[in-house]
Structure 1
Amino acid sequence: ELSDDGSVYVEPVAPVQPEPTEEELAEMAKQEQIRQVTAQINDLKVQIAASDYKVIKTYEYSLLGEQAEYDMETVHAERQNLRDQINALETQLTELTAE
């Protein structure tokens, strides 16, 4: 279409984004893996924190000489399993960020 001054309107063209290089793709994949491992670590830490009350309550009961309602061997085993998973993921994270 012509404007009042006789010039022709040209629709602006969006700049074309270059395809990422193999190195850029590898770095993006690495960063995504780091995000996933970090999220897993945070989730496991939340699970441990959610069971803190059992440890505190059992300790309180033991100070009073009363029997606690939780089997501390089971609670400890569950919490240690979570800690072991966190340690393995933190090692993996260290390796990912060192590269």
Structure 2
Amino acid sequence: MHINVTRHGPYVVVDIKANAFVHHMVRNIVGSLMEVGAHNQPESWIAELLAAKDRTLAAATAKAEGLYLVAVDYPDRYDLPKPPMGPLFLAD
């Protein structure tokens, strides 16, 4: 799994890549990252959550509002076109 958080002006971009996702997984991750960003939890809390493997210890699920699926990557064997990555509104 890969997670990268960057700021682009007023936007915070959370780039999450994995080979599979469970229901609300991205929203659950973002909800916990928001708690760290708001200084309600230390950065080390994320590692503790991952090690505990207990969803009930994490923050509330982030609202879907404002979260966008930007791309889905498929194995090269499918020979599908690869559009440019990233939200198009940040391409300026």
TM-score bucket of the superposed structures, by smaller chain: under 0.3
TM-score of the aligned structures, taking structure 1 as reference length: 0.21
Higher helix share: 1
Higher relative contact order (CA 8 A, sep 6+): 1
So what's the TM-score if we normalise by structure 2? 0.22
